[in-house]
């Protein structure tokens, strides 16, 4: 989790991700960042969709695009980190845990 008033990213960081083709998106209703880790491991993160476009398949389409990117990069594994509080349950994080499992991701 983050401290209050801390930022997750900056406009410069997003521009860098776009320039390096590490941020996948089209019309801005959502995005996901991708990263090539060592050992043929792909990683995605910062998955987000506009609240007005949720439950329309945006997240699923972005995950699929991230997985296709990883295949093109010859990755054998795709991973993500889901940051969750240790001492309490955050409803959206609990939703994401279930959703990621539903689409084939297993906790490690």
What's the topology of domain 11-102? Aminopeptidase (3.40.630)
13 with 23: CB under 8 angstroms?
A: no
pLDDT at residue 27 greater than cutoff 70: no
Q: Report domain extents, the chain.
A: 11-102
The whole-number pLDDT of residue 1 equals: 46
Phi, psi at 82, each rounded to 5°: -105, 110
Helix (H, G, I), strand (E, B) or coil at 97: helix
pLDDT one-digit tens code per residue, 32-73: 999 999 989 999 998 988 888 888 999 999 999 999 999 999
The Cα 41–Cα 55 span in angstroms is 29
Burial class (CB in 10 A: 0-12, 13-18, 19+), 80: middle
Tokens standing for residue 84: 């969750």
């Amino acid at each position: 989790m983050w401290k209050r008033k801390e930022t997750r990213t900056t406009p410069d960081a997003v521009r860098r991700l776009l320039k390096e083709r590490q941020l996948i998106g089209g019309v801005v209703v959502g995005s996901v960042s991708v990263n090539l880790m060592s050992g043929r491991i792909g990683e995605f993160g910062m998955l987000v969709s506009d609240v007005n476009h949720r439950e329309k398949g945006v997240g699923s389409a972005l995950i699929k695009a991230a997985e296709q990117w990883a295949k093109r990069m010859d990755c054998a594994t795709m991973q993500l980190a889901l940051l969750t509080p240790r001492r309490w349950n955050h409803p959206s994080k609990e939703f994401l845990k279930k959703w990621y499992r539903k689409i084939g991701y297993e906790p490690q």
